């Protein structure tokens, strides 16, 4: 045995996992009545705000408190009042390499009254101005009682069978008596007299203490006079592995050999030994279930027989006698905490968590002789990327039952809307049952909170039967703690440095949970298998990779640094692309990337589709604030292919209608107005070539704040909105736009133009089959503008079916606020009437005469009662006319904001004619 003796007297105090080695002291038993030196290692701090302290050699201060009860900041030093200025008494001394120290006597420093025992210190370091800081640390203090510390070995240290085991102790008082007692009762109680305040004892040679293979638990007691202190300690004696080659054709994970036999293969490099524990051996550590070690030392495998066909068995891998994990490739797990929350209607006859498992944590399930799912559709033809309309959906919030089956029962709804792909937010096992799913734990097990695996297969099969592809949202950037390889390679508060899969800390600022090292061959191999699994076992049609920008090992402190071109990230993503193509040549691969455009160009040209977030632009336009829509144009981004999956809303964005109603300009803060403006925006959105995505319920104007019930909290479905006539019309407009997108080849044409800078937006599509012109006024007042038809002749207004004779290539049109039109030079079937308020009365003119009045506006438009005009203060004749030109109301005024009451008029279209100095302007008004 290599004997390691401590050369210093620094003792680590770790009260919470996240503290790691950030705070140490110069005393084994720091006492509130004695001077102690506090030492901070800022590189071990976890709070992202610590970045502002790294590299400093001055301007670092202690902010602290002392507690005699639960509150660690019960007493604070005099003068420590303003976090934003330096606190001189807490000025730290630099030790170099981002390490800092300070000496203090707690009772004096914190002015704690005599007679009160100081039990803990609350500590953090900050910059003088308080803009950079660590997290809070809690340091426990000792009183004058009897205590001892085991310096060596570390808990759960592993030793060979005949290896000498040395225990090194430190005592708070001298001349104590040690007593050892084995929990296993293999060795009798033995004692050892200590002289002084420390001891080094050979457990086997000095005390003749007997050990057993596997885990050894001992109770250690120290006594001095009438005082005593007791602690339990564990160490492990390594069993002798059997080294054998893996049988042929065995993959990592669970291999069903026949109805009674299973071979387990577990990739676990740098581990000493692995036992299989489970229902089949009564959850006992049994030498018969010590797994064989492959010759390369990286895999452990075992074949077990005599299993009952069709019976479910729970099991775990027990690593080095102490770490129990499930199988990272299993298809079903049991959770001791959250399974009880799953109703039997969602998951009938769910197996109970094994009460005999003393190691805890999630367990995996095997079941031989399962009846394969009988797929109805085996030759599904996926929609082409250019016609792809994706519906992003969270099972939990889509229906009250939160079940795959009920989503499948909504196929008629999806068909009516016209979408041709569902993108399911993460449905593989995640922590707890109430989640967006971005806290994954098992990557090949469907989460039971939504139903059985066959329920999920039924949903996919039903989608395919109806022409709808299914895309899985997968989270490969990070995993939560119960992920087997996170638990297997864990070090106190984070993945260990020897983890083949994960980084101890994320190199970038966006990671949550525990970050993967995507340059690791182990990580890549694991996710290769995961991607293959879902394509083959569940017949999914593709993937959306969450936070693919995080597939980097490059250190960054800002988004710009993280987004900068990263050759290794590109290489990693291309690796996954090529692997998936080897499994399935035409599946969809979508990235949530948002990196530098040079990187996105390369990935798009390689074949990836990439998310294109236009939520901010969309919200501005509906609220009445102008924004360019060029972000929908893949050519504007310099891409060769239309691989931009653009969207106006996603799970991660504020809802357009909510934002407009609550934060829009006064002219648009009306539900009817907002819904009409949303239609206009949608018409432009679907016109741009490339795949599209919409977030669930956006099609009927969902208006629940994203932060309702907490950002990721449960949201109400609001299906009752479809009973509202105006919201139903929005749904139907969406359906018509999607129909054009998915059935008319012109909407995939690469020959297109846009005019996006002004409040009147235009998109032109040219194709041999048909030319299309879309125009929409997203200003807050009426607008006159040219529309570029290019070709004269007959055109057709899609939503009204009105035939329009275009005599000039660029005539002038007048549009009310929120008014939009889709013109085609082929007469298409006309949708249901009255989906938009301006039907059958569209006019164009070559010489529209308008007053010289740049401030002219009409709002709200559409309206339910009155309209207000914004004028320039000159004398103006105002006339309200019906669609036949009959004057219904006339007035002459110099008011800047005159109003006209329309509450007594029937719903429909009217015209406002304004005349100044002999020049007239006519604008449409819609009365709802």
What CATH homologous superfamily does 745-845 map to?
Golgi alpha-mannosidase II (2.60.40.1180)
Helix axes 567-583, 597-606, angle to 10 degrees: 20
Surface-to-core class of residue 558, CB atoms within 10 Å of its CB (0-12 exposed, 13-18 middle, 19+ buried): exposed
Q: What is the predicted pLDDT for the residue at 79? A: 95
Give whole-number Cα distances, 587 to 326, 443, 646, in Å: 30, 19, 19
Whole-number pLDDT of residue 20? 44
What average pLDDT does this structure show over 755-759?
89
Q: Architecture of domain 253-367 in CATH?
A: Sandwich (2.60)
What's the pLDDT score for residue 356? 96
CA dihedral 906, 908, 909, 912 (to 10 degrees): 30
What is the per-residue pLDDT across 351-405, written as a single tens digit (0 to 9) for each?
999 999 999 999 999 999 999 999 999 999 999 999 999 999 999 999 999 999 9
HSE, side-chain direction, 13 A CA sphere, residue 386: 11
Prior bond of 860 cis (ω within 30°): yes
CA nearest neighbour of 836 among 707, 696, 678, 599: 678
- Equal CATH topology for 11-140 and 745-845: yes
Q: Is the pLDDT of residue 671 over 50?
A: yes
**Residue 2's pLDDT band (boundaries 50, 70, 90)?**
very low
Average pLDDT for residues 745-766, to the nearest whole number? Answer: 94
Q: How far is CA 389 from CA 32, 537, 739, 799, 818, in A?
A: 66, 24, 10, 21, 24
pLDDT of residue 846: 58
Could you tell me the sign of the dihedral formed by the alpha carbons of 551, 553, 557, 561, in that order?
negative
**Bond preceding residue 898 cis, omega within 30 of 0:** no
The second-level CATH assignment, the architecture, of 857-927 is Sandwich (2.60)
- Tell me the C-alpha distance between 532 and 752, whole Å: 38
Tokens of 631: 């972000």
Q: Distance (Å, rounded) from C-alpha 355 to C-alpha 357?
A: 5
Of 169-178, 537-546, 615-624, 732-741, the range with the lowest mean pLDDT is: 169-178
| Res. 638 pLDDT band, cuts 50 70 90 | very high
Given a contact cutoff of 8 angstroms between Cβ atoms, the answer to whether 175 and 222 are in contact is: no
H helix runs in 705-843, sequence order = 725-743
- Range list of H helices, 709-779: 725-743
Q: Percent of the chain at pLDDT above 90?
A: 79
CB atoms within 10 A of CB 384: 12
State how far the Cα of 381 lies from the Cα of 150, in Å rounded to an integer.
Answer: 65
Asked whether the predicted pLDDT for residue 11 surpasses 70, the reply is no
H or E segment to which residue 38 belongs: strand 36-41
Name the nearest CA neighbour of 694 among 469, 393, 410.
393
pLDDT at 854: 47
Write down the pLDDT at residue 245: 97
User: Is 276 within 8 Å of 284 (Cβ atoms)?
Assistant: no
Instruction: Decide if pLDDT at 910 tops 60.
Output: yes
Q: For residues 352 and 339, what is the distance between their CA atoms, to the nearest angstrom?
A: 8
Separation between Cα atoms, residue 408 and residue 761, nearest integer Å: 38
What are 69's two structure tokens?
A: 């009860």
Q: What contacts 776, CB < 8 A, 6 or more positions away?
A: 680, 681, 683, 684, 760, 761, 762, 815, 818, 819, 820, 821
pLDDT digits (tens, 9 = 90+) for 176-229: 898 888 777 788 788 888 889 999 999 888 888 888 888 888 999 999 999 999
CA 404 – CA 396 distance, rounded (Å): 9
Cβ atoms 866, 874 nearer than 8 A: no
* Distance, CA of 137 to CA of 46 (rounded, Å): 11
End-to-end CA distance of the chain: 87
For residue 766, pLDDT beyond 60: yes
Beta strands in 177-246 (DSSP E): 177-182, 190-193, 198-202, 214-224, 227-237
Is residue 852 over pLDDT 70? no
- Residue 828 in tokens: 């298409």
Q: Is the pLDDT reported for residue 241 higher than 90?
A: yes
* Range 687-696 average pLDDT: 98
pTM: 0.82
The pLDDT value recorded for residue 14 is: 31
| pLDDT tens figures, 569-622 | 999 999 999 999 999 999 999 999 999 999 999 999 999 999 999 999 999 999
- Residue 795's SS3 state is strand
Contacts (Cβ under 8 Å, ≥6 apart) of 276: 264, 289, 291, 302, 304, 315, 316, 317, 318
| Phi, psi (deg, nearest 5) at residue 102 | -155, 140
Would you say the C-alpha torsion 587, 452, 283, 244 has a positive or negative sign? Answer: negative
Residue spans of the domains in the chain: they are: 11-140, 148-237, 253-367, 385-719, 745-845, 857-927
Average pLDDT, whole number, for the chain?
A: 92
CB 244, CB 231: distance < 8 Å: no
pLDDT digits (tens, 9 = 90+) for 888-905: 899 999 888 899 999 888
CA gap 701, 717 in Å, rounded: 12
CATH of 11-140, one of 1.10.10, 1.10.3470, 2.60.40, 1.10.3210: 2.60.40
- 425's CB contacts (< 8 A; 6+ apart) are 392, 393, 394, 395, 436, 437, 473, 651
Asked whether the predicted pLDDT for residue 684 surpasses 80, the reply is: yes
Give the whole-angstrom CA distance, residue 222 versus residue 15. 23
CB 559 within 8 A of CB 490: no
Q: What is the pLDDT of residues 446-493, one digit of tens each?
A: 999 999 999 999 999 999 999 999 999 999 999 999 999 999 999 988
CA distance 728 to 714: 24
- CA–CA dist 557, 161 (Å, integer): 48
DSSP readout, 389-454? Answer: EEEEE-HHHHSTT--HHHHHTTHHHHHHHT--EEEE---EEESSSSS-S-SEEEEEEE-GGG--HH
The pLDDT score that the predictor gives to residue 669 is 94
The third-level CATH classification (topology) of the domain covering 148-237 is Immunoglobulin-like (2.60.40)
% the chain with pLDDT above 70: 96
CB hemisphere CA count around 568 (13 angstroms): 13
pLDDT > 60? residue 564:
yes
pLDDT score, position 884: 62
The answer to whether the CB of 602 falls within 8 A of the CB of 571 is no
pLDDT, tens digit, for every residue of 99-120? 999 999 999 999 999 999 999 9
67 has pLDDT over 80: yes
* H/E element, 912: strand 908-916
Helix axes 656-663, 671-687, angle to 10 degrees: 140
Q: Which fold has domain 385-719?
A: TIM Barrel (3.20.20)
What is the arithmetic mean of pLDDT over 50-61?
A: 94
Supply the pLDDT for residue 885.
66
């Amino acid at each position: 045995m290599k004997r390691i003796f401590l050369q210093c007297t620094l003792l680590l105090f770790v009260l919470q996992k996240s503290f790691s080695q950030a705070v140490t002291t110069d005393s084994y038993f720091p006492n509130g009545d004695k001077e102690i030196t506090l030492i901070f290692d800022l590189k071990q701090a976890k709070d992202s705000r610590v970045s502002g302290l790294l590299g400093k050699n001055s301007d670092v201060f202690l902010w602290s408190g002392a507690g005699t009860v639960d509150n660690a900041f019960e007493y604070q030093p005099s003068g420590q009042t303003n976090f934003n200025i330096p606190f001189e008494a807490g000025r730290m001394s630099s030790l170099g390499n981002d390490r800092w120290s300070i000496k203090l006597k707690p009772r004096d420093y914190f002015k704690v009254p005599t007679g009160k025992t100081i039990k803990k210190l609350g500590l953090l370091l900050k910059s003088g101005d308080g803009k950079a800081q660590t997290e809070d640390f809690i340091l426990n203090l000792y009183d004058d009682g009897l205590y001892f510390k085991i310096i060596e070995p570390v808990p759960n240290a592993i030793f060979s069978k005949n290896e000498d085991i040395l225990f090194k102790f430190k005592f708070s008082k001298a001349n104590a008596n040690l007593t050892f007692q084995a929990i296993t009762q293999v060795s009798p109680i033995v004692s050892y007299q200590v002289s002084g305040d420390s001891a080094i004892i050979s457990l086997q040679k000095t005390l003749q203490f007997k050990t057993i293979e596997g885990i050894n638990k001992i109770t250690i007691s120290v006594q001095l006079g009438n005082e005593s202190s007791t602690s339990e300690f564990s160490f492990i004696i390594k069993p002798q592995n059997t080294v054998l080659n893996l049988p042929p054709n065995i993959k990592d994970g669970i291999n069903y050999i026949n109805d009674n036999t299973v071979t387990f293969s577990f990739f676990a490099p740098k581990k000493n030994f692995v036992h299989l524990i489970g229902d089949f051996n009564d959850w006992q550590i049994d030498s018969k279930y010590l797994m064989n070690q492959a010759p390369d030392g990286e895999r452990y495998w075992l074949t077990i027989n005599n299993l009952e066909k069709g019976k479910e068995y729970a099991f775990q891998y027990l690593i080095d006698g102490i770490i129990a994990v499930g199988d990272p490739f299993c298809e079903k797990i049991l959770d001791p905490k959250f399974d009880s929350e799953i109703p039997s209607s969602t998951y009938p006859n769910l197996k109970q968590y094994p009460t005999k498992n003393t190691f805890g944590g999630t367990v995996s399930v095997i079941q031989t002789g399962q009846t394969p799912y009988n797929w109805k559709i085996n030759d599904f033809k996926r929609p082409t990327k250019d016609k792809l309309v994706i519906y992003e959906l969270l099972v939990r919030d889509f229906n009250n039952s939160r079940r795959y089956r009920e989503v499948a029962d909504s196929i008629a709804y999806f068909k009516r809307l016209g979408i041709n792909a569902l993108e399911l937010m993460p449905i593989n096992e995640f922590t707890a049952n109430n989640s967006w799913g971005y806290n994954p734990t098992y990557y090949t097990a469907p989460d039971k909170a939504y139903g059985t695996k066959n329920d999920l297969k039924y949903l996919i099969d039903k989608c395919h039967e109806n022409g709808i592809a299914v895309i899985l949202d997968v989270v490969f950037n990070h995993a939560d703690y119960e992920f087997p390889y996170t638990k297997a390679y864990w070090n106190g508060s984070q993945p260990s440095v020897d983890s083949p899969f994960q980084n101890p800390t994320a190199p970038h600022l966006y990671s949550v949970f525990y970050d993967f090292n995507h340059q690791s061959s182990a990580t890549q191999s694991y996710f290769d298998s995961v991607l293959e699994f879902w394509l083959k076992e569940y017949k999914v049609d593709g993937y959306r990779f969450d936070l693919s920008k995080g597939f980097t090992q490059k250190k960054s402190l800002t988004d710009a640094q993280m987004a900068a071109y990263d050759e290794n990230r590109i290489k990693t993503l291309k690796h996954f692309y090529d692997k998936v193509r080897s499994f399935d040549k035409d599946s969809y691969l979508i990235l949530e990337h948002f990196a530098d455009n040079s990187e996105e160009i390369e990935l798009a040209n390689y074949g990836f589709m990439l998310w294109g977030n236009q939520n901010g632009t969309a919200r501005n336009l509906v609220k009445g604030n102008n924004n360019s829509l060029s972000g929908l144009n893949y050519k504007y981004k310099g891409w060769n292919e239309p691989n931009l999956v653009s969207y106006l809303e996603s799970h991660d964005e504020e809802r357009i209608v909510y934002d407009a109603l609550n934060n829009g300009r006064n002219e648009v803060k009306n539900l009817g107005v907002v819904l009409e403006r949303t239609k206009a925006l949608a018409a432009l959105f679907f016109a741009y070539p490339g795949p599209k995505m919409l977030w669930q319920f956006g099609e009927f104007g969902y208006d629940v704040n994203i932060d309702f019930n907490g950002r990721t909290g449960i949201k109400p479905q609001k299906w009752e909105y479809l009973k509202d006539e105006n919201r139903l019309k929005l749904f139907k407009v969406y359906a018509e736009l999607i129909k054009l997108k998915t059935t008319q080849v012109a909407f995939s044409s690469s020959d297109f133009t846009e005019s996006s800078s002004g409040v009147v937006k235009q998109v032109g599509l040219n194709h041999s089959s048909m030319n299309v012109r879309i125009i929409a006024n997203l200003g807050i007042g009426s607008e006159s503008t040219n529309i570029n038809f290019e070709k004269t002749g007959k055109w057709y207004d899609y939503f009204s079916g009105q035939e329009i004779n275009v005599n000039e290539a660029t005539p002038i049109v007048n549009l009310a606020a929120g008014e939009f039109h889709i013109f085609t030079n082929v007469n298409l079937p006309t949708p249901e009437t009255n989906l938009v308020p301006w039907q059958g009365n569209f006019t164009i003119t070559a010489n529209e005469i308008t007053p010289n009045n740049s401030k002219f506006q009409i709002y709200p438009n559409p309206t339910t009662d009155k309209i207000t005009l914004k004028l320039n203060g000159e004398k103006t004749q105002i006339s309200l006319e019906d669609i036949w030109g009959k004057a219904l109301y006339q007035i002459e005024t110099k008011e800047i904001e005159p109003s006209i009451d329309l509450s007594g008029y029937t719903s429909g279209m009217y015209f406002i004619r304004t005349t100044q100095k002999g020049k007239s302007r006519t604008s449409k008004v819609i009365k709802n």
